Amino acid sequence: SIEIKEQQYDVLIIGAGLSGICALHNFRKRFPSWRVGVLEAANNVGGTWYCNRYPGARVDTESLSYAYSWDKDLLNEWTWKESFSTQSDVLRYIEYVCDKHDLYRSIQLNTRVKTALWQDKNNTWLFCDEAGALHRTRFFVSCMGFLSAPTLPAIPDIELFQGEAFHTSRWPKDFDISRDLANKRVGVIGTGATGIQTITAVSKEPSIKSLDVFQRTANWSAPLRNETISPEQMEQHRKDYDALFQLCAETPSCFMHQADPRKSLEVSPEERLELWEHIYAKPGFAKWLGTFSDTYNNREANKLYSDFIARKIRARIHDPEVADSLIPKNHGFGTRRVPLESGYFEAFNQHNVHLVDLQKTPIERVTNSGIITSDGKEHQLDVLIYATGFDAITGAFSSIDWAGKDGRPLLGSSNTKQGERAIWVDHRPRTYLGMAACSMPNMFMVLGPHQPFGNAPRTIEHAVEVISDLLQHCKDHNYSYVEPTGEAVDAWTEHVVESSKGALSNEIDSWMTGVNTNVKGKTVRSVARYAGSAVEYRRRCADSRAAGWKGFAFAQISSSKL
């Protein structure tokens, strides 16, 4: 008989981005006797910050609040150079953490998981990777990210294009814009956070011949206001880290910005304008999150603020018709994720940058040398960049073939035979605390669906802490099996849906509401994230823990050897 060797773990982490690195560090420290490992599909650590190497990629959360808080020495050693760091600086930071804590030895790179099978007989998960190697583990933690599976646009004849074409999160290695875009006619499809950063950077490249921006939905965007951090400022910031992390722990999405408790409609027009101008002049998400408290659940309040931002945008664009196209019509400011920009709108004042408004002239098809729009015009291109986003939330899970308890698939469509047995039907996750799911025993998720997304490192650290405490509980009681109860999953999923009601963002198609025209079956809105505050989320996690992990069922089995 052929013996297939399998790697064995007590806890296996999938993904080596900010979540996986945080989980690895925590578990290795807390469970020194356990075999802890990470499988990572890419050939480096970093996750989002490794994959998204497109020009202009930058974090639009303040760098200082984007650091791990659990290593005081690291906070003292590390120097942030800019208030909003570039992709390469964030990646350098993650690599530095891995070096400093000797994490690389537990991470297996270039290992993409293809199948996952729950086995009752010994309460373990068996994973098979793309190369056919097996990995068996008692517990596993998904750190796969909710924006990690890129999607190409579903437009006809996309494969015909003969020039260079790629997705922003698959930026070709060593593709240098000043060299490789020199004299080129460049096209970008997509104007989300990624598109806006890419378009701005490419437009500033003096060597390009032209840039065509294919915009399906205009996006509200506002100035980032990045600045360099001097050594003296950094010295001061180091002293303020504790207070900063404390502040982030008290805000709804863990950013360092708080809404003004007043309501827009209760103050005078002058007072309104005063606050708006004040936050507009501030860096980062202040202008999204620091406005009046009713801005994102009161239509009239939202309209007033949107009009204010629209005036700001209009003032920056020479051609009124272009300005009109760049200002969103069908959704209000802040009801989708607000991309922050550094000269995006001014790009459209350049003679070589053209906006193709797909609301007026939708894309008909791709040809071997460009894109034809409905007005019959062929936009000739040498390079085509897809900034078309991700199969968000469930995308990373979709690329693995799951067999949970009783062989149940994790995902499935309601109109297929397989879908009838699926745990999450029609891309609608059902979770307990966004951390665990029925029929997926011993699985935990960091940044899983139904968690309160926001400032990623802050929410990651909290989720890792909770999972770590739960694993400790299993270890202490010799439990080899843990699964949320059906009632707990029903109640939490219902609470997630309830708390999203009234938010204007819930009425808009976006990756946050689970809609993606490029992914089959993602046409119906679902609730992807917990819209109750992060503070409330923490309270609920703490309540479960205090009540002996209420909502979870545990079991011991005697023959529970791996």
Residues binding ligand NA7 (CB under 6 A): 147, 153-155, 189-195, 216-217, 337, 358, 387-389, 511, 517-518
Task: Report the alpha-carbon distance of residue 32 to residue 234 in Å, rounded.
Answer: 35
Q: Least distance from C-beta 216 to ligand NA7, angstroms? A: 4
Cβ-based nearer residue to ligand NA7, 204 or 216: 216
Cβ-based nearer residue to ligand NA7, 194 or 200: 194
Nearest CA among 160, 154, 189 for reference residue 367: 160
Give me the half-sphere count of Cα atoms (radius 13 Å) on the Cβ side of residue 250.
9
Coil, strand or helix at 85: coil
Q: Least distance from C-beta 193 to ligand NA7, angstroms? A: 4
Residues 30, 468: contact at Cβ < 8 Å? yes
Q: Least distance from C-beta 302 to ligand NA7, angstroms? A: 18
Cβ-based nearer residue to ligand NA7, 154 or 491: 154
Task: Report the alpha-carbon distance of residue 531 to residue 512 in Å, rounded.
Answer: 10
Q: Least distance from C-beta 396 to ligand NA7, angstroms? A: 14
Cβ-based nearer residue to ligand NA7, 147 or 383: 147
Task: Report the alpha-carbon distance of residue 72 to residue 199 in Å, rounded.
Answer: 38
> Which amino acid is residue 15, in one-letter code?
G
Coil, strand or helix at 473: helix
Q: Least distance from C-beta 62 to ligand NA7, angstroms? A: 15
Cβ-based nearer residue to ligand NA7, 135 or 529: 529
Coil, strand or helix at 77: helix
Task: Report the alpha-carbon distance of residue 480 to residue 475 in Å, rounded.
Answer: 8
Q: Least distance from C-beta 512 to ligand NA7, angstroms? A: 8
- Burial of 419: CB neighbours in 10 Å, binned 0-12, 13-18, 19+: middle
Contacts of 133 (CB under 8 A, 6+ apart): 5, 6, 7, 111
Cβ-based nearer residue to ligand NA7, 341 or 382: 341
Cβ-based nearer residue to ligand NA7, 161 or 511: 511
Cβ-based nearer residue to ligand NA7, 388 or 505: 388
Residues 208, 352: contact at Cβ < 8 Å? yes
Contacts of 423 (CB under 8 A, 6+ apart): 402, 404, 408, 409, 410, 411, 430, 437, 438, 439, 440
Closest residue to ligand NA7, judged by C-beta, is 192
Q: Least distance from C-beta 190 to ligand NA7, angstroms? A: 3
Cβ-based nearer residue to ligand NA7, 339 or 404: 339
Phi, then psi, of 66 in degrees rounded to 5: -100, 5
Cβ-based nearer residue to ligand NA7, 24 or 534: 534
Beta bridge partners of residue 108, listed in sequence order: 39
Q: Least distance from C-beta 57 to ligand NA7, angstroms? A: 10
Work out the end-to-end distance of the chain between its first and last CA atoms, rounded to an integer number of angstroms: 21
Query: 47: phi > 0 → left, psi -120 to 50 → alpha, else beta; which?
Result: left
Nearest CA among 531, 137, 60, 120 for reference residue 342: 60
Kindly compute the dihedral angle of the four CA atoms of residues 268, 270, 273, 279, in this order, to the nearest 10 degrees. -90
